[in-house]
Amino acid sequence: MDSTNTTEISIKVDQVPDNVAAPESRILVVMTGGTICMRRSPDGFVPARGFLESSLAPRPSFNDGSKPDDLQIIVDGVETSYHSLRTPISTYEKHVRYVVYEFAELLDSSSINANGWAQIAEVVYQNYRAFDAFVVLHGTDSLAYTCSALSFMLQNLGKPVILTGSQAPMLELQNDATDNLLGSLIIAGHFMIPEVCLFFNHKLYRGNRATKISASEFAAFASPNFPPLATISSLKIHVSWELIYRPTHIKAFNIQTNRATSDVACLRIFPGIKPEMIDAVLKLDGLKGLVLETFGSGNAPGGADGALVKVLADAVKRGIVIVNITQCLTGTVTPLYEPAMHLKRAGVIPGADMTSEAALAKMSYLLALPGMTTEKVINQMSVSLRGELTEQTATAFAHPRDVLPTHLANLTQLGYSISKGDHEEVERLLKSDLSWLLNESDYSGNTPLHIAATGPNVDILRLLLQQGASVHIRNKSGRTPLFLAANAGLTEHVTLLKQSGAHLHSGEMATAKSHARKHLDLWRAAGA
């Protein structure tokens, strides 16, 4: 126990952040348009440029008056300086420093399409190494579609990407924009939630689980079949860590911007619908997939030999992927009833509890992937890729209410086993429902991955990465696991972390370069 404490103290003393008076997170805010940035005009509300200067700089909650240096943003390979602002220090003793990049053409969300999604993904990808998290400002009409699309386009995501907007413009006296944007910045800047999320009305939702439920209320979005990932109250932010989806592949962050959005369609069943109507849609030139919104738990008119089922079965034989989604706000598609069973036997895929937005986004994503056959798409549509559906065979675990008091004991036990190199014990602890501790930190801010990055057993580091441990969390000295591994001269550890998408933070670069005289090749491999 004493040796562990000595190691942590030496790390804390030796690794002082470079030119940082207080810890800060760096956030890139991407402005696509929408109500949040609108202002009055003779023709009604219109999107307006200069959001940072007009809407954020005058507000003390978004600007502490410290006048920080400009930050660099890369767009289309060109690096440009942008004015940045810093929030006042939070209750978590941290600043959020941010910069706003505005689309060349600000869009109403009803006009955004796959090209807009690709543009957002490209901005995130090109600036991924320079920022700790990303906040995307977007109109509300198609916000759920964009969240679902990005959740599949951003592959092996290791940092928070939070989308938000508002029902009333920021410049209006009564608005929800202030709370939505400030809440998004605080969560993105303080909590490692490596998902595409939607934040609205004090709640953080998994992006591909959310849907718009109101055209006018501030509570405009809901996640009917999945609980919020986090909730902001008057006292604190409550994060449901056991619900967080984390990448479990040892691969770097990448994007897939090819979409087959023009090859898929969505059709809602209604009483008395003619099979000829469905057949006409299924015979559209170039159609490859259909999301079918049915009654209840997946039911549609007609029996096993009915004309409607025959139309669907014929389309499946022609290679068209059809997914069955319920019209109900809550619940799941399951072949419990005879009509739903007829559809499944015809080759229609039960879509479980996916939203229509998620089903469309997932289908267009899969159909555009290189080398994907119809059979592979059908198989993947029934599997949870980004937490977008609840697999029927999955077991749901809930942490007992008395877990929190033993939190430090569990974390200490896990850290001790990692530092000893006891792979078997670490594996046992993670299997005993303690995997939620992976991104928790000790008094020095070190997570289990920080300890493993300098530990004696590289296989433990691999195990933690495969379980979803984040490579981007920095300890209280501002150091990432990659920095610690390079500083310790551990080549295998550095290689493995780089394969998982790790990179040195901008605040570590100066110290890394000064250390590069020792283990020069290793520091170069780490990115110094």
Span 138-150, pLDDT tens digits: 999 999 999 999 9
Write the single-letter amino acid at 258. N
Give yes or no for residue 425 having a pLDDT over 80: yes
Of 180 and 345, the structure prediction assigns the larger pLDDT to: 180
CB 355 within 8 A of CB 316: no
Nearest to 298 by CA among 337, 260, 347: 337
Q: State the pLDDT at residue 2.
A: 35
Give yes or no for residue 214 having a pLDDT over 80: yes
Q: Cα 424 to chain center, whole Å?
A: 31
Place of tokens 């940082």: 20
**56-82 pLDDT per residue, tens:** 999 999 999 999 999 999 999 999 999
CB 160 within 8 A of CB 140: no
Give percent of the chain above pLDDT 90.
Answer: 67
Q: State the pLDDT at residue 405.
A: 45
d(CA 230, CA 243): 10
SS3 of residue 413 by DSSP = helix
Within a 10 A sphere around the Cβ of 313, how many other Cβ atoms? 17
The one catalytic residue in 32, 35, 211, 332 is 35
User: Quick one: average pLDDT of 28-50?
Assistant: 91
Instruction: Supply the CATH classification number for the domain 261-381.
Output: 3.40.50.40
SS3 of residue 237 by DSSP = strand
Same fold, 23-255 and 261-381: yes
Give yes or no for residue 320 having a pLDDT over 90: yes
454 tagged catalytic: no
Find all residues with CB under 8 Å of 287, minimum gap 6, and list them: 263, 264, 265, 281, 320
Write the single-letter amino acid at 330. T
Nearest to 136 by CA among 117, 162, 112: 162
Give yes or no for residue 10 having a pLDDT over 50: no
Query: Which CATH number fits the domain 23-255, given the four candidates 3.40.630.30, 3.40.50.10490, 3.40.50.1170, 3.30.920.30?
Result: 3.40.50.1170
What value does the mean pLDDT of the chain take? 88
SS3 of residue 235 by DSSP = coil
Give yes or no for residue 43 having a pLDDT over 90: no
Give whichever of 27-31, 113-117, 294-298 has the largest mean pLDDT.
Answer: 27-31
Per this entry, what is the length of the chain?
528
User: Quick one: average pLDDT of 500-523?
Assistant: 83
Give whichever of 291-305, 455-469, 511-525 has the largest mean pLDDT.
Answer: 455-469
User: Quick one: average pLDDT of 318-343?
Assistant: 87
For the chain, give percent helix, strand, coil, nearest 5: 40, 20, 45
State the pairing for strand pair 203-206/196-200.
antiparallel
Domain ranges within the chain, ordered by starting residue? 23-255, 261-381, 405-526
Write the single-letter amino acid at 27. I
d(CA 201, CA 466): 34
User: Quick one: average pLDDT of 266-293?
Assistant: 95
Confidence of residue 47 (pLDDT cuts 50, 70, 90): confident
Place of tokens 């150091």: 479
Fold observed for domain 405-526: 1.25.40
Give yes or no for residue 507 having a pLDDT over 90: no
Nearest to 352 by CA among 311, 314, 380: 380
Q: Backbone phi, then psi, for 520, in 5-degree steps?
A: -55, -50
Start-to-end CA span in the chain (Å): 33
Give yes or no for residue 16 having a pLDDT over 50: no
